[in-house]
Structure 1
Amino acid sequence: MLTALPASAQDHAQERDDPCRFTPGERANLQNCEPVSVTDTTIVVLGEGLPETPAAPAYSTITIDRDALISTGSGRLEDALSNVAGFQQFRRSDSRAANPSAQGATLRALGGNATSRALILLDGVPISDPFFGYIPFSSIGPEQLSSVRVTRGGGSGPFGAGALAGTIRLQSAGADALGLFNVSALVNHRGDTELSASLAPEVGDGFAVINGRWDRGDGFFTTPEDQRVPASSRANFDSWSLGGRIVQPLGDNLEVQARVLAFEDNRTLRFEGADNSSEGQDIALRLVSRGDWEVDVLGYAQWRNFTNVVISSTRFVRVLDQKDTPATGLGGRIEIRPPVGGGHTLRFGADYRRSDGELFEDSFSAFTGALRENRFAGGVNTDLGLFVEDDWEIGDLLLTGGVRADRYTINDGFYRAIAADGTVVRDDVFADRADWEVTWRAGALYPLSDAVEVRGAVYSGFRLPTLNELYRPFVVFPVVTQANENLEPERLEGWELGVDIFPAAGAALSATFFDNQVEGAIANVTLEPNLRQRRNLDAIDAQGLEFAASIERGPFSLNGTLVYTDAEVVGTGSAANLDGNRPPQTPEFSASVTAAYAFMDDGRISATLRHVGSQFEGDQENDVLPAATPIDLFAQVPIVDRLSFTARAENLLDEGIVTRNQGDSIDLGIPRTVWVGLRWGF
């Protein structure tokens, strides 16, 4: 089964193996293997949006299939995404042992940032937190998905305003992939447990899905043994999610899709009492028309909250209680594809996003435990985008180009601090701002032969600062990081050249050179010892080489990705001392390779080796996080009828993975962890 394979390579490999080949302007009639016009009756997979446009492979794209998603060592979505070299979170920890507000996702080593520089969509809906911009990875089990499509480089099209480093599209699995009923239960050698289940009956001419997941456990010590104190705690976690989805055709060409999700995640990090939580409730409604005029209309609403208690690392008492951070995300989009003909696939439309939220927190004295201040902060960000894009097929040559115009506002920003005796310490109301951003992208794909395709692309993108970056200061003792209400959007310009090679059926190679620059990159800039402020840097420059390879021979498959990136900060003024430095949390080299063997109806054995190069904790090129090379294993063996035995191993060789290093105060990632369990389903 193809896994981390370039999208163009996957399509090509499928066509080479399929005697029913068809041209980009046609779709396959699966009954008689004859090409039919797209206006004729076709077989459509329910529950998805409009298909990718013909020239989508012109951009550097990796597709992760369902087999790869559900056979990771950890069973976590972020683990599966890490098979795409160049994907990174702010820290190396997964969602069981990281503060949720640090779980930003980015691509192409464009600098460590707790806010996502990549746009992540679930069934077309942006899922980043409206206040912080982090991704709630624990709310999405990989077993709920059919595929993930990762496009690297600045974005355009729907919701392109957030696709600074690229776009990650998560597609929910339908009834055909899930089966009527599935349940899985696992336990590891520390007593942590994982339970998931789904029910996907046919309803009318469509289907419904109800899925749930519950993960809990005492976790492991993130603090090295020689740094532990009586107050040190294991990384306890207890999270659940419950979702529902219904998909129904309405006539021949119209389909309605509705989705709901509720989740809660509780964690304890480093010290007893250092508890945090995140929760959310999401709804989305989508109408897809696949007639001559293809139309995709989507609306969504999200309600999120976050809490966090900070414990002093010297006196081990509560010093900060972020007791409430309610936030709301509202938005929608419409995309229209008219039948223009002439080899053109035209799409245009509009999208809208609104994020608002407030922070309520209390500050306490580390010496007396008495309340020092009540703090309040928040605001509203909006973005209205208009987009148009056209793919043009001229014989074998595919051309694509698009442009966006975004009207954004940054409104109602405030920060207020009130001392325990009622004295107003600060009462700031910040000026409203609004402006336009115009971004674009263009690409080309051309087959030199049946075995070689070349492609190239140029693009731009932008990302608004989040409410967190604009208005919320924070302390990781003894370092104070100030917010900055004057932050400007981050802007990216870049280009890439690539080649895809298909030496034989079931084999593909891909190589891409890219050159990206993020102007105004937001970073925590050191102003003096123990004092930082979020500021716009002049730029982050990143040039690199990306490689991907996939080989499938019957039940055997081998998939790998590798990226080398040369990234540096361009800094002047207060950031002049950062000029030429490697951005924090940015490795120079990363790679992943997975070997798998499929057997019987539902059996699979796989092994994954990943390597992440060394990186710096901060902007001064200090406090090194050493390179790490963990190995994970997965096995699922059918026992009888619908029952299978499952075993997983995370970090098999117990590699030391440093996830934080602040003045030699260290946090560690997952140690060797072995899971066993059972899966039953049909």
Structure 2
Amino acid sequence: MEIQLNKRRIFLTLGCIFGLVNAAGAAESGEPVELDEVVVTATRTHASLSDAPAAVTVVSTKDIESKNASRLGDVLDQVPSLYLRGGALGQSQGTIGTSGMSLRGIDQTRTLILLDGQPIQDAGSGKVNWRVPFIEDIARIEVVPGAFSALYGSNAIGGVVNIITKQPDKREFTAKVKKGWSDASGKDASVYFRDKLDNGLGIVAGLGYQNRDSYVNDFVVRSPVAGVPGTAVTGAQATTTATGAPAYIVGDKGAAPWRQINATTKISYDLSGVGKLFGGIAYSETDLGYTMFNTYLRNATTGAPVTAGTLDINGQRVTLSESNFVNNSPLYESTARYFAGFEGTIGNGYLLKIDLAQIERQYRFVNANTASTWGAGTGTQTNAPNSGADGTAQLSFPVGDRHFIVSGISLHNEKVDGTTYTLSNWRDPATRTGIADGYSGDSTTASLFAQDEISVVDKLKVYIGGRFDNWQTKGNYYKNTAPASAVTYASRSASSFNSKLSAVYQAADPVTLRASFGQSFRAPTNNDLYSYANIFGITSIGDPDLKPERGKTWEIGGEWRVSDKFKANATYYQTILKDLITNFRLSNVPIVSKRINAGKAKINGIELAAEAGLTNWLTLNASYAYIGSEMLENNIDPLSVGKRLIDSPKNIVNMGITAQQDSWTGILNASYSSKVFSTAQNIDTAEGVPGSYDAHTMVNAKVGYKFTKVVKGVVAINNLLNTKAYSFFLLPGRNVTAEMDFSF
């Protein structure tokens, strides 16, 4: 039945896409075609969208304002081939450790995420803190799928997501307040100001605050074990584990309320006739708390609540500890970003861009030992401060009438210094009694890149580019508990040259054809190499000898602009990955996993998208993505061969309707994602149970009314159909938010 429903969704979307195009062709074929939207990420310089050598998706300021957005992932929910879960989305309490994302089946550690051109991936895990970008400060987002290591180096195997913030080029002052109910219960507020003075000085300042109550979404699941049953209890709910083994839900961990702050300040100064200098600071901070847990179990004789012991559930032996009911709170993460640069013209038509940036991150959480209770007992605190430093100098210039060169140098450094402290009271980080273990990593990549944009003829552009990256790394690991050990890993290096060839052909005024072939790579993260972590009895081990991952991608596609109101895109692509870094489970009891280089994997897919202006006030968009991912070779873990890659849904369907009429605005979006796996062997086949990653459809709606030029009211409903599904945690149910916006 699920397969049939999935097929219906897919064929419905395809029908909408091609139906829109056919209708548009019949009704609007004589209208002029709009080609003037400019993007910067696909070529590292300004290019019209029709000339970009990739299927670029632009999320504009208007798109962002139309969404019920409190986190970066919320504004990307309609991007073709993009899958998001957990901490990427604003109604989740999830942090960097529980976020998930993939673009065309390639996850967030292999897809480069930039904030104004600077990588913001964590220097330890390579994951993204999706809370870092301040939503009010985002001008646009460019999502560029495909191999882009030839321009951007490591991590750009799946593509590049570039978040471009607002510049002080006009006066804007906004204030917003929001209140949520049900699973969105909480309060948000923000103020944002920008202006450009007559003397060329530009100023930006903004502050945002979110305080959410969260909701119950993390359940305690216990499996029967061999042996004699103990105390008889009632209240257990029969279920399975994510791998399909019989189990029982015995309680939940309570809600995990959270508080988030975002702040930014920027200045710029126009150098008359030359360019501009700019700089600023951006800061984000998140505190994740806890509330009392709930046990569903009652003593069969006395009726008293049961939170621990050897139990009898339906004649089966089940063991339970109060530590099973805890989360990792108090948890804290923060990011401070400092940046400065210059952009302008030097000499005779030479465009110079210099970017310097430093990111300082804090990330810490607690972990209870198995004998501890919910509120006391021994445990640990993991503290993983890390930093990233970037410097890029780019020079762009024309050569003759048919060549435009982009060239540059880049330096990127990542450092992490992880420490596990022992605590006498695991709920109180101030009760440190010693250091259990720790690790550090220091990785640096130095790069040279160049690209030639060749106007072969008026309708054909060819892009030839390449980048040389030299990666160096060193680190250490130590363990103070028995058996104590310490090891220092000497500095080692690896080099990678990645090239790309792309062609863009304007076959006719309304039709653009694209083709490309590119190489890509990803250096192992510091955590891949040097970390050793044990959380809730699950151990993850790095491997200091890991090699960089390498990829090759080719794609063909095009865009058909039927009119200025109707367009459609289609792309077919294939990526081959070698030395793919993944987890190999060394044992199941206890669970111990190690990072390894697998042999080879393949991803091939089809991406279709269309947008139609049905009337002067109503727009419809739709997209469908088929993503075929498969592990082809893996001598270390042969059971993963033939299986799908993790966080890689087979089908993604998006549909949205946007309306604007007089003072009214509205949006209705629907997104479907098929099931994903979290294990290399795809053993987590169950759906609809805690810990599973379910196929699901989410429908969200938002309506706004502008009372005056200054005041606007907004009401939004998320999960309109009240879909119940898990993405490890239970997804938010139907909820409502109301917002007042003031613009001056």
| Residue identity opposite 2:714 in structure 1 | T
Tell me the equivalent position of 2:181. 189
Q: Distance in 2 between matches of 1:102 and 1:242?
A: 23
Note the C-alpha offset of 1:286. Answer: 1.6
Q: Distance in 2 between matches of 1:430 and 1:55?
A: 48
Residues 561 and 592 in structure 1, CA contact (< 8 A), matched pair in contact too? yes
Q: Distance in 1 between matches of 2:435 and 2:512?
A: 62
Q: Which moved more, 1:616-625 or 1:89-98?
A: 89-98
Tell me the equivalent position of 1:635. 703
Deviations 1:258-289 (A, max 9, x none): 12111111124783563321112111112111
Percent identical = 18
Note the C-alpha offset of 1:141. Answer: 2.9
Q: Distance in 2 between matches of 1:681 and 1:621?
A: 50
Residues 474-513 of structure 1 mapped to structure 2, 5 A cutoff: 474-513=533-572
Classify 1:371/1:229 alpha carbon distance in 2 versus 1 (closer, same or farther; 3 Å). farther
Deviations 1:128-148 (A, max 9, x none): 122222222112133311111
Equivalent position SS for 2:529: helix
Confirm whether residue 208 of structure 1 aligns to residue 203 of structure 2. yes
Tell me the equivalent position of 2:639. 577
Classify 1:19/1:119 alpha carbon distance in 2 versus 1 (closer, same or farther; 3 Å). closer
Residues 102 and 648 in structure 2, CA contact (< 8 A), matched pair in contact too? no
| Residue identity opposite 2:651 in structure 1 | F
Tell me the equivalent position of 2:688. none
Q: Which moved more, 1:604-613 or 1:120-129?
A: 120-129
Q: Which moved more, 1:312-321 or 1:641-650?
A: 312-321
Note the C-alpha offset of 1:164. Answer: 1.6
Note the C-alpha offset of 1:449. Answer: 1.6
Residues 353 and 383 in structure 1, CA contact (< 8 A), matched pair in contact too? yes
| Residue identity opposite 2:453 in structure 1 | D
Confirm whether residue 565 of structure 1 aligns to residue 627 of structure 2. yes
Note the C-alpha offset of 1:415. Answer: 0.6
| Residue identity opposite 2:105 in structure 1 | A
Tell me the equivalent position of 2:472. 409
Tell me the equivalent position of 2:727. 659
Equivalent position SS for 1:274: coil
Classify 1:252/1:388 alpha carbon distance in 2 versus 1 (closer, same or farther; 3 Å). same
Q: Distance in 1 between matches of 2:674 and 2:371?
A: 31
Confirm whether residue 279 of structure 1 aligns to residue 334 of structure 2. yes
Note the C-alpha offset of 1:477. Answer: 3.6
Q: Distance in 2 between matches of 1:493 and 1:320?
A: 45
Paired positions, count = 632
Classify 1:19/1:570 alpha carbon distance in 2 versus 1 (closer, same or farther; 3 Å). closer
Tell me the equivalent position of 1:119. 112
Confirm whether residue 360 of structure 1 aligns to residue 354 of structure 2. no
Deviations 1:401-441 (A, max 9, x none): 10000011012x1111112xxx6611011121112100111
Q: Distance in 2 between matches of 1:383 and 1:659?
A: 35
Confirm whether residue 439 of structure 1 aligns to residue 498 of structure 2. yes
Residues 449-598 of structure 1 mapped to structure 2, 5 A cutoff: 449-529=508-588, 530-552=591-613, 553-598=615-660
Residues 200-239 of structure 1 mapped to structure 2, 5 A cutoff: 200-203=194-197, 204-223=199-218, 232-239=253-260
Tell me the equivalent position of 2:232. none
Q: Distance in 2 between matches of 1:506 and 1:181?
A: 31
Note the C-alpha offset of 1:637. Answer: 0.9
Tell me the equivalent position of 2:281. 260
Tell me the equivalent position of 2:354. 297
Tell me the equivalent position of 1:33. none
Note the C-alpha offset of 1:160. Answer: 2.7
Tell me the equivalent position of 1:136. 129
Q: TM-score, normalised by structure 1?
A: 0.86
Classify 1:404/1:56 alpha carbon distance in 2 versus 1 (closer, same or farther; 3 Å). farther
Confirm whether residue 398 of structure 1 aligns to residue 461 of structure 2. yes
Equivalent position SS for 1:469: helix
Note the C-alpha offset of 1:93. Answer: 6.0
Note the C-alpha offset of 1:70. Answer: 2.4
Confirm whether residue 378 of structure 1 aligns to residue 371 of structure 2. no
Q: Distance in 2 between matches of 1:451 and 1:164?
A: 30
Tell me the equivalent position of 1:250. 271
Residues 665-676 of structure 1 mapped to structure 2, 5 A cutoff: 667-676=729-738
Note the C-alpha offset of 1:104. Answer: 5.3
| Residue identity opposite 2:521 in structure 1 | F
| Residue identity opposite 1:254 in structure 2 | G
Q: Distance in 1 between matches of 2:595 and 2:470?
A: 24
Tell me the equivalent position of 1:38. none
Tell me the equivalent position of 2:396. 337
Confirm whether residue 620 of structure 1 aligns to residue 681 of structure 2. yes
Residues 631 and 642 in structure 2, CA contact (< 8 A), matched pair in contact too? yes
Equivalent position SS for 1:67: helix
**Which has the higher Rg, Structure 1 or Structure 2?**
2
Tell me the equivalent position of 2:46. 51
Classify 1:136/1:502 alpha carbon distance in 2 versus 1 (closer, same or farther; 3 Å). same
Q: Distance in 1 between matches of 2:712 and 2:362?
A: 38
Q: Distance in 1 between matches of 2:124 and 2:85?
A: 17
Residues 231 and 272 in structure 1, CA contact (< 8 A), matched pair in contact too? no
| Residue identity opposite 1:183 in structure 2 | A
Q: Distance in 1 between matches of 2:33 and 2:672?
A: 39
Q: Distance in 2 between matches of 1:571 and 1:21?
A: 44
Q: Tell me, which stretches of 5 or more residues in structure 1 are unaligned?
A: 28-43, 661-666
Classify 1:320/1:519 alpha carbon distance in 2 versus 1 (closer, same or farther; 3 Å). farther
Residues 401 and 442 in structure 1, CA contact (< 8 A), matched pair in contact too? yes
Note the C-alpha offset of 1:616. Answer: 2.0
Q: Which moved more, 1:315-324 or 1:570-579?
A: 315-324
Equivalent position SS for 1:573: coil
Deviations 1:318-376 (A, max 9, x none): 77534422212111101111231222111111111011110011357999x99796111
Q: Distance in 2 between matches of 1:550 and 1:55?
A: 15
Residues 66 and 146 in structure 1, CA contact (< 8 A), matched pair in contact too? yes
Q: Aligned-pair RMSD on alpha carbons?
A: 3.0
Deviations 1:600-619 (A, max 9, x none): 36x42001100010122322
Residues 125 and 526 in structure 2, CA contact (< 8 A), matched pair in contact too? yes
Confirm whether residue 108 of structure 1 aligns to residue 115 of structure 2. no
| Residue identity opposite 1:281 in structure 2 | A
Note the C-alpha offset of 1:72. Answer: 2.0
Note the C-alpha offset of 1:206. Answer: 4.6
Classify 1:72/1:487 alpha carbon distance in 2 versus 1 (closer, same or farther; 3 Å). same
Note the C-alpha offset of 1:479. Answer: 3.2
Q: Distance in 2 between matches of 1:184 and 1:50?
A: 34
Equivalent position SS for 1:351: strand
Confirm whether residue 165 of structure 1 aligns to residue 222 of structure 2. no
Q: Distance in 2 between matches of 1:103 and 1:484?
A: 23
Residues 233 and 268 in structure 1, CA contact (< 8 A), matched pair in contact too? no
Tell me the equivalent position of 1:677. 739
Note the C-alpha offset of 1:183. Answer: 0.6
Tell me the equivalent position of 1:241. 262
Equivalent position SS for 2:715: strand
| Residue identity opposite 2:189 in structure 1 | L
Q: Tell me, which stretches of 5 or more residues in structure 2 are unaligned?
A: 1-16, 221-236, 238-247, 291-324, 686-692
Deviations 1:636-677 (A, max 9, x none): 2112340110111111111112111xxxxxx21222121002
Residues 494 and 514 in structure 1, CA contact (< 8 A), matched pair in contact too? yes
Tell me the equivalent position of 2:320. none
Residues 358 and 377 in structure 1, CA contact (< 8 A), matched pair in contact too? yes
Residues 206 and 248 in structure 1, CA contact (< 8 A), matched pair in contact too? yes
| Residue identity opposite 2:540 in structure 1 | T
| Residue identity opposite 2:439 in structure 1 | A
